[in-house]
Amino acid sequence: MSEQSLVRHVTSDKVAELATATWSNCLVIGNEIAMSGMTAHPASRNSRLGTYEQTLVVLGKVRDLVEAAGGTLGSIYKLVIYVKHIADKDEVGRARRDFFAPLQPCPYPCSTLVEVSRLVFPELTVEIDAFARRDIDLRQAVRPV
């Protein structure tokens, strides 16, 4: 079996994955890093975090999993962001700007933002699906002419 066809289950001490879970937080298939949607849980249970703070917690989990999978912050190329209140889009945008500031002036990851009626726990206001590849780095992006 070639390395490209191997599936590797990746874990991180910084991102809990319960033994009873019926999903994997992160799989590596070739250079693709596939992740489950991330939320700020359980940090959101311990204190009431606003959408800005929840977004930073979630993006931190994504970064931790990407790094555990052999990628970097620049490996994240797409985000799909689910918010309970579309009015929170500015807080999500501010968190994205702050979180990806170390990559600037590189392009930000592509992004989709949608409003949903509910997330898995009532205190959650944001969930993020992230897509990354170990063989890319946004810092190497070609500038438009």
- All structural domains of the chain with their residue ranges: 3-140
Whether the per-residue pLDDT at 68 is higher than 80: the answer is yes
CB atoms within 10 A of CB 130: 27
Whole-structure pTM value: 0.91
Q: Checking phi first, is residue 54 left (phi over 0); if not, alpha (psi -120 to 50) or beta?
A: alpha
Q: Tokens at residue 129, please? A: 């699906």
Per-residue burial over 92-110, b if 16 or more Cβ lie within 10 Å, else e, is bbebbeebbeebeebebbe
**pLDDT in the model for residue 129:** 96
Structure tokens at 73: 């912050």
Query: Average per-residue pLDDT in the chain?
Result: 91
Both structure tokens of 99: 């979180």
Angstrom distance (rounded) from CA 53 to CA 114: 18
Counting residues of the chain whose pLDDT is more than 70, the rounded percentage is: 96
Query: How many CB atoms lie under 10 A from the CB of residue 4?
Result: 9
Mean pLDDT of 70-96: 97
Topology of domain 3-140, CATH: 60s Ribosomal Protein L30; Chain: A; (3.30.1330)
State pLDDT tens for residues 38-56: 999 877 777 789 999 999 9
